Chain A
Amino acid sequence: MLASFWAEMLKLRNRPAAWVLLLVSLVLSQVFNYLVPYAGYLTADNERAAERILMSTMPENFIPNSIGGFPLFAGALALTLGAVSIGSEYGWGTLKTIMFQRPRRMSVYAGELLALAVAVLAIVVSIFALGALTSSAIAASQSESMDWPPLTEIARGVASGWLILMMWCVLGAMLAFLFRGMALPIGLGVVWILGVENLVNVAAPLLDFAEALQRGLPGVNAGSLVSALGGGSDTPGVNSAVDGTQAALVLVAYAVAFVLIAAFALQRRDVT
């Protein structure tokens, strides 16, 4: 498995698509969490509103700011990462090449998952780090005091962010294994995250069964986890449908299920 992991890391590190996804995640998170609020602050016409907006960009809020986008756009990007890195192995036929090198299918698979887990962690840490940097820059420029959340809180934020993105990432990977490609998984995944989940959210206040359904959806649980860490419910995708612990457990359950389904498909089916 370690051999596969290092091979996988070599591929990911050199893969332009992986860097593009990282870059897009970073740019989007900075734009939505800091650039837009900061512009709003500069142009706000009443003082109290301006003050409130400015406070939202301060270091004390950098955890919810950093993971605010995870249920939606960062999630979609993580899903794309999973779908691209697995799906392209089918497209290029390289899966068969690596499957006759030596390791068993399951150890190749474990190496792939481990590499994705590391890549997702790198994305999460980069978003947090850049957020901290931007936030302290804004605070310094406004001569505001910098109150950082305690380290344990930061660690919890990173772990939760990783859990959310990893769940989406393995969903992408699972779809890629099932459909043996990447186009369909990306399409379906994005429609799910940005379309289906939103429709259920709209229907939830109107229909009882939609509300019950809503509490079980992966995106909704991701949103609830963010909300439990202080994310404002004015952020798209963030909600308080369930409490934080339950949300985390549901996300773990989804991730494990996706991992197992993909393993089953890979183990059983022919590699062509």
Chain B
Amino acid sequence: MGGKDVLVETRDLTKRYGTRIVAVDRVSLTVRRGEVYGFLGPNGAGKTTTMRMLLGLIRPTSGAASVLGRAPGHPESLARVGALVEAPALYPYLSGLDNLRVIARYAGVPEGRIAAALEKVGLTDRSRDRFATYSLGMKQRLGIAAALLKDPELLILDEPTNGLDPAGMVDIRDLIRSLGSGERTVLLSSHMLGEVEQICDRVGVISRGRLIAESTVEELRGKGALLVVAKPLEHARQRAEQLLGAERVEVHDRTLRLDADPATAGQINRELVGAGIEVAELRPMERTLEEAFLAMTDQKGESNVG
């Protein structure tokens, strides 16, 4: 599957639990080399389940996936993937440093890399304390350090800013951005739109197990619309319908909402004024990602049970 620049590809990836729960439902997504891909969805959408399948921890019920050109879980692909899935799971009785030494041994990487990884997440001076004594945010940082040990081509991070305070979130987001700036590819899940908007190049939106959109952040936000306040309103509406077609014109709150590229605002203004209409206001309406997201996921507090 996929070309050389497609690092992760899934085709109709599906995971069922029992007969009722479809945790992941025919997801087909593509992550390309060098991008920071945001996997966005509400709680229970199937993000973690998808990532587990990509790491070979759980087997798909049906469908296929390839990671770095291999089946998920293949030692040669795992060797180039760093991951943090759900809460960082490390040994409570070991120090941060010893935890990373254990991971380094499993991963087959030299222990010399540990210091740099600790430095990157800002844990150097607490590295000799036991993991059990770490705060939630410190545990999360150590989990990220563990994911960095292999100096991986692909980073799979499941809600990496979980449990961090605002300053910590900023740190980690900056870190992820810088990690993902070069050739490295990051697949990151989140339920926070702002986060995805800030650090991701492309987004896959998942809801109730389904991938409902996959696009760039800009595309997802939508081209937006134009809001026009004009007099007489009815006359303006007719003129706009002639220009754009009836289905692209709506009236809300005595305001025309035109489904048109904001770049065409000047032209539309000329047309309306030319038809003798007084244009009091004409401005672009940009949907926030939040609105786009809510519209798409159509949340009614349901989950993937059905």
The interface of chain A, by Cβ under 8 A from chain B, is 3-4, 6-7, 10-11, 14-16, 92-94, 96-104, 108, 270-272
Size category, B interface: 20 to 34
B59: shortest Cβ distance to chain A, in Å? 6
Question: Are A271 and B57 CB-contacts (below 8 A) given A94-B89, A96-B89?
Answer: yes
Binary CB contact string for chain B from 37 to 80 against chain A (1 if under 8 A, 0 otherwise): 00000000000000010011111000000000000010100110
* Cβ B57 vs Cβ A270 within 8 A: yes
Binds A, one of B105-113, B115-123, B243-251: B105-113
B contact residues around A14 at 8 Å (CB):
93-94, 98
| Other-chain contact of B93, A16, A98, A270 (Cβ < 8 Å) | A16
B contact residues around A272 at 8 Å (CB):
52, 57-58
| Other-chain contact of A271, B58, B101, B146 (Cβ < 8 Å) | B58
A contact residues around B146 at 8 Å (CB):
97
* Cβ B106 vs Cβ A96 within 8 A: no
Known A-B contacts: A94-B90, A103-B106, A271-B58. Give 12 more (CB < 8 A): A10-B102, A92-B92, A96-B57, A96-B85, A99-B55, A100-B55, A100-B56, A100-B78, A100-B85, A101-B78, A102-B107, A104-B75
* Cβ B94 vs Cβ A93 within 8 A: no
B158: shortest Cβ distance to chain A, in Å? 11
B contact residues around A11 at 8 Å (CB):
91, 94, 102
* Cβ B78 vs Cβ A270 within 8 A: no
Jot down 25 A-B pairs with beta carbons below 8 A, ordered by A: A4-B106, A7-B105, A7-B106, A10-B98, A10-B101, A10-B102, A11-B91, A11-B94, A14-B93, A93-B87, A94-B91, A96-B57, A97-B89, A97-B90, A97-B103, A97-B146, A98-B102, A98-B103, A100-B55, A100-B73, A101-B150, A102-B150, A270-B52, A270-B57, A271-B57
In the complex, the chain A residue whose C-beta lies closest to that of B88 is: A97
* Cβ B81 vs Cβ A100 within 8 A: yes
B76: shortest Cβ distance to chain A, in Å? 9
A102-B93 Cα distance, complex, nearest whole Å: 23
A272-B52 Cα distance, complex, nearest whole Å: 8
Residue B86 interfacial (CB < 8 Å):
yes
In the complex, the chain B residue whose C-beta lies closest to that of A98 is: B106
Residue B31 interfacial (CB < 8 Å):
no
A contact residues around B107 at 8 Å (CB):
101-102
A75: shortest Cβ distance to chain B, in Å? 25
A contact residues around B58 at 8 Å (CB):
270-272
B259: shortest Cβ distance to chain A, in Å? 45
Residue B83 interfacial (CB < 8 Å):
yes
* Cβ B105 vs Cβ A3 within 8 A: yes
Question: Are A15 and B103 CB-contacts (below 8 A) given A10-B98, A102-B79, A270-B58?
Answer: no
| Other-chain contact of B105, A10, A97, A104, A270 (Cβ < 8 Å) | A10
Question: Are A93 and B78 CB-contacts (below 8 A) given A10-B101, A14-B94?
Answer: no
* Cβ B106 vs Cβ A102 within 8 A: yes
Binary CB contact string for chain B from 122 to 152 against chain A (1 if under 8 A, 0 otherwise): 0000000000000000000000001000100
A156-B92 Cα distance, complex, nearest whole Å: 39
A6-B107 Cα distance, complex, nearest whole Å: 11
A contact residues around B85 at 8 Å (CB):
96, 100
B75: shortest Cβ distance to chain A, in Å? 5
Question: Are A93 and B89 CB-contacts (below 8 A) given A4-B106, A7-B102?
Answer: yes
* Cβ A92 vs Cβ B91 within 8 A: yes
In the complex, the chain B residue whose C-beta lies closest to that of A6 is: B105
A84-B108 Cα distance, complex, nearest whole Å: 25
* Cβ A100 vs Cβ B89 within 8 A: no
A contact residues around B55 at 8 Å (CB):
99-100
In the complex, the chain A residue whose C-beta lies closest to that of B84 is: A97
* Cβ A102 vs Cβ B94 within 8 A: no
B contact residues around A10 at 8 Å (CB):
98, 101-102, 105
A contact residues around B101 at 8 Å (CB):
10
* Cβ B57 vs Cβ A100 within 8 A: yes
A63: shortest Cβ distance to chain B, in Å? 35
A103-B92 Cα distance, complex, nearest whole Å: 23
* Cβ B59 vs Cβ A270 within 8 A: yes
In the complex, the chain A residue whose C-beta lies closest to that of B17 is: A270
A270-B52 Cα distance, complex, nearest whole Å: 9
Which 3 A-B pairs rank lowest in CB-CB distance, beginning with the nearest? A93-B89, A7-B105, A270-B58
A113: shortest Cβ distance to chain B, in Å? 15
A271-B57 Cα distance, complex, nearest whole Å: 5
A11-B88 Cα distance, complex, nearest whole Å: 17
A272-B98 Cα distance, complex, nearest whole Å: 23
A93-B48 Cα distance, complex, nearest whole Å: 14
In the complex, the chain B residue whose C-beta lies closest to that of A95 is: B89
Question: Are A92 and B57 CB-contacts (below 8 A) given A10-B98, A101-B103, A102-B108?
Answer: no
* Cβ B86 vs Cβ A93 within 8 A: yes
A193: shortest Cβ distance to chain B, in Å? 27
B contact residues around A97 at 8 Å (CB):
88-90, 103, 146
Question: Are A101 and B106 CB-contacts (below 8 A) given A14-B98, A270-B57, A270-B59?
Answer: yes
B204: shortest Cβ distance to chain A, in Å? 21
A93: shortest Cβ distance to chain B, in Å? 3
B137: shortest Cβ distance to chain A, in Å? 18
B177: shortest Cβ distance to chain A, in Å? 24
